Chain A
């Protein structure tokens, strides 16, 4: 594999940064101790927060699912060690806002007892769909930083053919070395994971992109590929340039393809996963272990002993610092790297699935930003922007709160890599403006949706009130009519009917010949005839009184 040199491309812009990686790559990955308390936030991924499956007081085993995925885009959570659930409550979470969010708190028992695991060593016998479900149930999310549920990216839908699985081992941000150490020490797991993911995607080939500043990792991966006899997995060494680790940038460098604006890599037939995610997929499938730990880099001039640690999800940061020689001097705790990370305000915060690095940054690591001065329109930011945006325009429009214009300049293609702010001679906090504009736009969209729903409900209420009024009116009318009919029309009709019947009966009686007229004497016959004649005469004159009198 090493004999053939692959043609590489390059993305526009980017900057050369000092790596500072050797600080933390001196020692092997250390195993972090089991903390007394694990704080596991329900939301550690992009999408909906997980829904707790346990209650306070429940005993849980290591690897047991404690919260399930809620909705399409979500990921379940697992207990990182055995113990007892002591609380499900709001706790501070590692997030730029510094806000609290619901967490499951487990008091560990120190035994670290596994629950029953179901490994699938023969993954090739599983259907891609089954593999994806297993990966979803293992709670695997992108470990590179964004935390997007991985099973979704292994589920591209039938109509899209994925030809390439691209594993991202670039790790371009300074200080961070967790992927480097993982590839050095667990290259086998990465390659085995890549094999499973390639099968799940039914991708033709798998490329692993890695920056040339990691020769040990490159050698280890090559050895693992040869050792496993994998012909379809290729290690692609790319030049070190920030931000090659960006998804779209790495695709460009390795394949030359360009992902369209606001599009996804699968539109160009590629799916990108992080190398750490691949190793976790291997553990989930072939060993049956869900995602309960990850490798975290502890580094910076402020760290007592910079190193990489295998950390259980939910371990409080201060316990990790204690195990790595404490801290030195004044430092700012940052989650992530110096370019894209964000400051944390407490060491009691837990580590989560997306905690790749804890940077104890002194002023030597992160020099304080000098006071900003006005933009001089030098255009340097546009020259180095790896997403080919116009950072200056984005800045002006974000500042002026012209959020529709800022979107016209493709704000949402900005990957917040910080190159523009890095080169800005006026020291403008450019990325802060873009982040501000993005969250404002999202908030406006949420408000718009809420307003649309309120309008709909208000309109429906108006319609309902109108309908109720009509129904009421109709009911009233019907009842009134019914009453009227009963009192007047109906009874009148009935009375007329009855009278008519009586008259008819009478008439019939009159018409009917008397019954006992068979054997009458002529005398009697004569009398009858006389009476009849008299009656006929009376009826003709219309006299009723005489008749009565006669009776």
Chain B
């Protein structure tokens, strides 16, 4: 009686061990799925305001529990809420240390002043600046993330961050809950 129980349990253990072993190999996940999900939520401005060199490193820090979820000023409340939802933690206000949520901007180069030094081109994290040595530079507006990283290297201060003007097509209806003393 005892023997048969031992044999049965051993057999079960072996079967499940094999199954688990097979599953571990067969359904192996290459990268950390949480990391990719966190990265997908971040706005990809690659601005480094969070203190990490880009969105992916910040995502890695969040995924490993090293960084808090409220360190992304470009993402603002939307990203904090999405991250809180994703990670099952309580949302919290944006960390004041990293800056504040600002309207989206694009860099504009004053082409009359630009001396063609290429320093901003090297600084741009998304290759959104076009130009060559001693040639005028210009920003590809549609690709600019508004990260401000091109501002410090410019020796002649010819880059300005301009707020994106709302157009009828991109305009958003105001939140009715915002503007009245409603229930």
Contact = CB atoms under 8 A, between A and B. Distances in A.
Interface of A: 43, 93, 95-97, 99, 101, 372-375, 399, 401, 426, 429, 432-433, 435-436, 438-440, 442-444, 446-447, 450-455, 457-458, 460-461, 464
B52 to A, nearest CB: 13
A95 B173 CA distance: 11
A457 B145 CA distance: 11
A17 B98 CA distance: 55
A476 to B, nearest CB: 20
B169 interface: yes
B114 to A, nearest CB: 21
Given A432-B176, A444-B78, A460 B169 contact: no
21 contacts: A43-B168, A93-B168, A96-B173, A99-B166, A372-B180, A373-B183, A399-B177, A401-B81, A426-B183, A429-B176, A435-B173, A440-B172, A443-B170, A451-B43, A451-B44, A453-B143, A454-B126, A454-B145, A455-B44, A458-B54, A461-B127
Contact of A436 (B44, B125, B172, B182): B172
B173 to A, nearest CB: 4
B173 A455 contact: no
B168 A436 contact: no
Given A101-B168, A436-B174, A446-B170, A458 B46 contact: yes
Given A436-B173, A447-B43, A458-B54, 14 more contacts: A43-B168, A96-B173, A97-B168, A99-B167, A374-B183, A429-B176, A436-B174, A436-B176, A446-B170, A450-B145, A454-B145, A458-B125, A461-B125, A464-B127
Contacts, number: 79
A375 B183 contact: yes
- Please classify how large the interface on chain B is, using the bins under 10, 10 to 19, 20 to 34, 35 or more: 20 to 34
A432 B173 contact: yes
A97 B183 contact: no
Q: Shortest 5 CB-CB distances between A and B: which pairs? A: A374-B183, A97-B171, A439-B172, A454-B44, A451-B44
A451 B127 contact: no
A451 B79 CA distance: 12
Interface of B: 39, 42-46, 54-55, 78, 81, 125-128, 143, 145, 166-177, 180, 182-183
Nearest to A399: B177
Secondary structure dominating the interface of A = helix
A426 B128 CA distance: 51
A455 B143 CA distance: 11
Contacts of A460: 127
Contacts of A101: 167-168
A440 B42 CA distance: 17
B183 A457 contact: no
A464 B124 CA distance: 13
B166 A97 contact: yes
B31 to A, nearest CB: 14
B176 A452 contact: no
B125 A95 contact: no
Contacts of A453: 143
A43 B78 CA distance: 30
A439 B171 contact: yes
A428 B183 CA distance: 9
Q: Which of A96, A433, A451 has the most CB of B within 10 A?
A: A451
Contacts of B176: 429, 432-433, 436
A436 B42 CA distance: 23
A438 B176 CA distance: 13
A297 to B, nearest CB: 23
A444 B168 CA distance: 16
Contacts of B55: 455, 458
A43 B169 contact: yes
Given A444-B78, A454-B145, A458-B126, A99 B171 contact: yes
Contacts of B125: 458, 461
A467 to B, nearest CB: 13
A457 B168 contact: no
A425 to B, nearest CB: 13
A95 B168 contact: yes
A496 to B, nearest CB: 47
Contacts of B174: 436
Contacts of B39: 455
B74 to A, nearest CB: 10
A287 to B, nearest CB: 32
Contacts of B180: 372
A458 B168 contact: no
Contact of B44 (A401, A433, A452): A452
Contacts of B175: 436
A457 B127 contact: yes
A372 B183 CA distance: 7
A375 B177 CA distance: 13
A433 B174 CA distance: 9
Contacts of A454: 43-46, 126, 143, 145
A303 B108 CA distance: 48
Contact of B42 (A373, A443, A451): A451
A252 to B, nearest CB: 28
A263 to B, nearest CB: 24
A469 to B, nearest CB: 14
Nearest to B181: A371
A93 B167 CA distance: 11
Contacts of A452: 44
Q: Which of B145, B176, B177 has the most CB of A within 10 A?
A: B176
